[in-house]
Structure 1
Amino acid sequence: MHEQDYALAQTQVEQQEVSKVLRNTYGLLALTLAFSGLVAFVSQQLHLPHPGFLITLVGFYGLFFLTVKLRNSGWGLLSTFALTGFMGYTLGPILNRYLGMANGAEVISSAFAMTAFVFFGLSAYVLTTRKDMSFLAGFITAGFFVLVAAMLVSVFVEISGLQLAISAGFVLFASASILFQTSAIIHGGERNYLMATISLYVSIYNLFISLLQLFGIMGSDD
């Protein structure tokens, strides 16, 4: 009897912990997305130059690993906003490039709407069914290396349709990451809401950029 009571109490504690992480994660995610969007708007309006691939890479991973190091302190919250703000800044010049297209505004709005639909749809699916998506870990790891290799090939060799394939691959990769991270939260694999927020933010960012590229390529073909 005591063992059953203990097990029930332990389950209730775990459920409360999951609910807390979910609330903190989605609350912070909403704030970081809003902040990132504001920085992107300012960057776009001021026509700020893109920092370039190397600086973007260094800035992202530098701030990412800083947040990992500070994830259990109040400074981690500041580095989280620094990371998402920096990524928002890099988004501004990209938006300007698409706005220079004949149908650029339509491409951006379509990518934004599709990103929101995919994120909320996938999140709702996992939260409703509570399925364990940990089996996606291998797919995500393999997908990462395949996409990196494809990007390196695209730098040195021009292959028809490769950029389209890479963008489509990133859409699948980001979607799988959203499923995996959401499942990790509700099944106890992730208890730090800062890390959960960053993981979801990066997936949403990659999803949006990839859809921009897909819709941009398809739009230019027309």
Structure 2
Amino acid sequence: MTLVRILGNVVLCFFFSLVENQVVVMTSRVGAKASGTNGGINFKPKERGTSHFEMSSSFKSDIRKLTVVHLIIWLLVAAQVTVTHLSLVSHDLVATPYQWQYPYLLSIVPSLLGALALPKNNISYLVISMISAGLFSVAPLIFGAMEMFPVAQQLYRHGKAYRFIFGFSAVSVMYLLMLVAIQVHAWHIYYSKKLLDAWFTSTQEKKRK
């Protein structure tokens, strides 16, 4: 059990370092975009429209990348649920899922709606995607953090783990997965909001013309 605790702490430290670097990079990109937007205040109408088009394309690209990452996370959760319920592997090798993982499977819905909204700039789909992301993506993760906290506390204090995934503590693996997932969903909602703003601004300018 001591080995499990040490491995868990090492993985957590490495992951926190990785997450910190990722947040810094993405924050820098957002700052650069904001700076470019402020610098375009005196643009002519035609140039302003081009700026909104470029912003829309950039936000769409970011959303697509986040959707791919979320799909990978979703597949990992779905794989655990599937192999344990169909008894494809021993429960000693892959532990049974926590309760929060079942509602989290619905998180594929907002991602699909967001992907469908991008090609034709469908505002309705994108709004529904943002709302459902809070219900089906963020809420299960918050519930999961509370559900697994006593288990994580026991692992940290006493080095005792009762569920394992390929030899690693299941709670440590799930917390790592959740930390990545919450960032993905937060950035997805953020970029969706920025994309909506760009679409609304572009629509208003077309009406004025």
Using the size of structure 2 for normalisation, the TM-score is 0.42
Using the size of structure 1 for normalisation, the TM-score is 0.40
**Larger Rg belongs to:** 2
